[in-house]
Amino acid sequence: STWDVMKPIFESIAAVAEGEPCVTHIGPGGAGHYVKMIHNGIEYGDMQLICEAYNIFKAAGFKPAELAEVFTEWNEGDLESYLIQITSKIFEQVDPETKKPLVDLILDTAGQKGTGKWTLINAVENAVVISTINAAVEARILSSMKDKRVDASKVLEGPKPELDVKKKKLVKKVHDALFASKIISYAQGLDLIATMGKEKDWNLDLGKIAAIWRGGCIIRARFLNDITDAYRKDPELSNLMLAPFFTNLLNEFQENWREVVSLATLAGIPVPAFSASLGYYDSYRSAVLPANLLQAQRDFFGAHTYERTDKARGEMFHTEWPEVIG
């Protein structure tokens, strides 16, 4: 094949992680371009989660110099990644003109080139939930509405975004919330890749895809080794959360994860990606959801029918509901 001919050339120039070149033939047709698009969607989620951690720390009184230390320490541990590393360097940067931390002088309006939005559109088309990535895209859109937000801040009331907590304890709690939410972001993106791969008959290898993300790309991170291992052990893994390594982490982190979301919410600190990640986790682990009421509503106004818990799956029922006025 053409790939067999070109493979030695690409491998000779590719980044290397764990002794393996970070390049592979993804699949036929547009498979490679598609996987790159979802990589960018996961990147959106990753970046937004880091920004929400930063926002929580700011509310607790952390200065950029302190945050540089926190993120440097994180980059030496299980959160090691390119994005954590560059974030630590951003907090160290001083503006030569004003001698103030540069991050404090950058306007809070984020740009985007479209891959995040394309990822959302594709997820909706394939009925795959990527709520963390969706929250990240919407957060960028909201950030661009600077003038409207400034006007709204003068009339819409809420708590003052301040946290009175012990800094050291908060660092641990936010670490756990960030790590857990990152797992969800990757789980959602990989679920979308797997779904589209089956739809297009691309025969995608999620273990290989995770492996090539370990070096030379924006989302490269230490825990991609664990993601690679998870899919190599079980290529048919239905969701990354169900791999034993990640199940154990989520079980370990969830108490601090919940506390961070609660602290932020009560203090009026927007954490849409943290919240969406936790909501996905709780929905996915729920054997029973309130969709029974939703389906009853659909049957009431549109005769859409419903299944019953005491009958075989696939057997549909309809109720003659009472008439209402209005």
Between β-strands 20-21 and 16-17, what pairing exists: parallel, antiparallel or unpaired?
Answer: antiparallel
Q: Which residues contact 266 (CB under 8 A, 6 or more apart)?
A: 159
**What spatial distance separates the first Cα and last Cα of the chain, rounded to whole Å?**
66
Catalytic hit among 18, 36, 146, 169: 36
Report helix, strand or coil for 20: strand
What are 236's strand-pairing partners? none
In whole angstroms, how large is the CA radius of gyration of the chain?
Answer: 22
The residues pairing with 317 across neighbouring beta strands, listed in sequence order, are: 306
CB 22 within 8 A of CB 217: yes
Pair 17, 215: CB distance under 8 Å: yes
Catalytic site residue 166? no
Q: Which of 43, 52, 182, 208 is catalytic?
A: 43
Tell me the C-alpha to C-alpha distance, in Å, between residue 306 and each of 70, 259, 303: 52, 37, 9
Please, which residues bridge with residue 306 across strands? 317
Catalytic residue flag (residue 36): yes
Active site residues: 36, 43
